[in-house]
Homo-oligomer: A and B are copies of this chain.
Amino acid sequence: MSDTCTWAPDPDGDPALLPQTFGGFAAVAEIAPGTVIDTWTLDCFGGAVRSVTDLASRSASVMNPQTGPFHVTGAEPGDTLAVHFLSLRPRYGRGVSTTFPFFGALTGTHTTATLHPPLPERTWVYDLDLETWTARFAALDSDLTVDLPLDPMHGTVGVAPAGGEVRSTLAPGEWGGNLDTPEMRAGATCYLGVNVPGALFAFGDGHARQGEGETCGTAIECAMDTVLVVDLLKGVSTPWPRIEDDEYLMTTGSARPLEDAYRIAHAELVRWVAELTGLSQLDAYQFVSQTALSPAANVVDTQYTMIAKLPKRLLPASLRDQARGGVHRRLRERVQG
């Protein structure tokens, strides 16, 4: 049996008081390893963008406010948090997405600096239907509507960074943060290396769904009711965030240019496969080269994120559930059992 922590943002509170950084904030609660957190997160605009006439650059006073941070009892640098997502449900019947000036993959940005004026800023509102589990795309310039399957996920999941750094919730990196990968869905376990005592775990930026790469810079952004469990792996290090679900072992790399994000993720997967299988480094390199899937997560944030995914079914059967001491399966079974 698990403890449950129900600390949650005040729905009537000022979103600007919530953390917009990983690091730099005192814990809102201390939880023991194994605790279930049952809470919710504000959307990336703090709820300020609600209609097609709201423009994020004018309406939103916050970006990616987080729920947390939570102090995990006993977590110390060199340990790993295992965060297993039990349930994600969009909290309201509304998601929004926007273009945002100088942000996105197909526009000049503050760093891919050009002399172009910004693309037009527009807001799309999606009706979210939890019965049919769909989000309705409605074109702004024509009549087309399309119902898209929901696939809820969290864009930001992370801990306080190393080296005393405090990082914007717009940035992904070794500490997790704004990875913006659709793999961070219910049923997945995210592994995060601990950098400071207590880890200071936080999360937010819920997406009703997103395409890989998050091309225009925003997903279908929504407040999220989320239930997760946090476990602690003592003495296990995790240089870059990893994700495991029933089907895949996944590694992440966050860097620019995008090939460096790819390199990090795949070097990590080579390492993971070698550890798990006893293969030599070169044999693991060969094995990963013929078996990995390699989707983009985000190609818009201050670092880009790539994922490397190994289908567990391609591993010897005896090893499929053995990664990281089998914690993913244990967490799955406990919450299902």
Contacts and interface: CB of A to CB of B under 8 A. Distances in A.
A15 to B, nearest CB: 15
A292 B215 CA distance: 9
A8 interface: no
A318 to B, nearest CB: 11
A60 B116 CA distance: 25
B211 A270 contact: no
A105 interface: yes
Contact of A148 (B214, B255, B299, B314): B314
B146 A115 contact: no
Nearest to A216: B289
Give the interface SS of chain A, mostly helix, strand, loop or mixed: loop
Interface residues of A, number: 87
A90 to B, nearest CB: 14
Contacts of A111: 253, 255, 260, 263-264
A282 B122 contact: yes
A144 interface: yes
B97 A142 contact: no
Identify which of A253, A286, A299, A304 gathers the most chain B CB atoms within 10 Å of its CB: A286
29 contacts: A20-B163, A23-B166, A97-B286, A106-B267, A107-B114, A111-B263, A112-B112, A112-B260, A112-B263, A113-B253, A113-B263, A115-B282, A137-B286, A139-B279, A140-B282, A141-B282, A142-B280, A165-B168, A211-B288, A212-B294, A215-B292, A220-B290, A255-B256, A256-B257, A257-B259, A259-B299, A263-B299, A293-B295, A295-B296
Interface of A: 20-21, 23-24, 97, 99, 105-108, 110-116, 119-120, 122, 124, 135, 137, 139-142, 144, 146, 148, 163-168, 209-220, 253, 255-260, 262-264, 266-268, 270, 277-283, 285-296, 299, 304, 306, 314-316
